[in-house]
Amino acid sequence: MLYDLVVAPNVGVEVGLADRWSVALSGTYGWMNGSPWYEHIRVVTGDAELRYWFAAADSPLRGLHAGVYGAVYRYDFLFNDKGQEAKANWGTGLSCGYAVHLDRHFTIDFSLAVGYVGGKYQEYEVSNDGYRHNVWTADKIRHWVGPTKAEISFVWHLFGSSSKVKKGGEL
């Protein structure tokens, strides 16, 4: 839902592997041209996460979860006339979250992650000489350790939850 604020559609799928374990895959594509907004924030991402769920095994994909993830990023951010563009950055880290069941078919999942993001990127300035093009000013390498993900996901369980959920998300 956070990507939706910057008009970068994303989709994901999560599949239970065994008791209390699941794997989640997701991707985002917001690399559009045309309007001034799209020229300022463009992003393409993909990530995979292995999650452990602390709730009872008969309550899949609900409650507290922790995991490890890996991701790749491509982005182009422009603020005023200065920008950064990365062809391929990568990240890895640990995540923690909580899934709140709304009913049999819908859940809201809140997740935070900390980890490492690294890779090469270029800084540029926009030339306003009548042709509007980018002028590369520096090649840099990113080494970031800290918060790397914040997610609020609206989850649709295609086949419903295997546990009976009462009003308010209680079992």
pLDDT mean by block of 10 residues, the chain; 171 residues: 57 86 90 61 89 81 93 87 89 96 89 96 83 80 93 81 52 50
What's the pLDDT at 110?
95
Q: Residue 92: its pLDDT value, please?
A: 97
Give me 88's structure tokens. 């391929």
Quick one: pLDDT at residue 1?
45
Consecutive H or E run containing 50 = strand 41-53
Classify 166 as helix, strand or coil.
Answer: coil
Question: What pTM value is reported for the model?
Answer: 0.78
Q: Given strand 41-53, what is the order of strands in its sheet?
A: 10-18, 21-30, 41-53, 63-79, 82-101, 106-127, 133-156
d(CA 135, CA 39): 15
H-helix segments, the chain: 2-5, 36-40
- What is the per-residue pLDDT for 165? 47
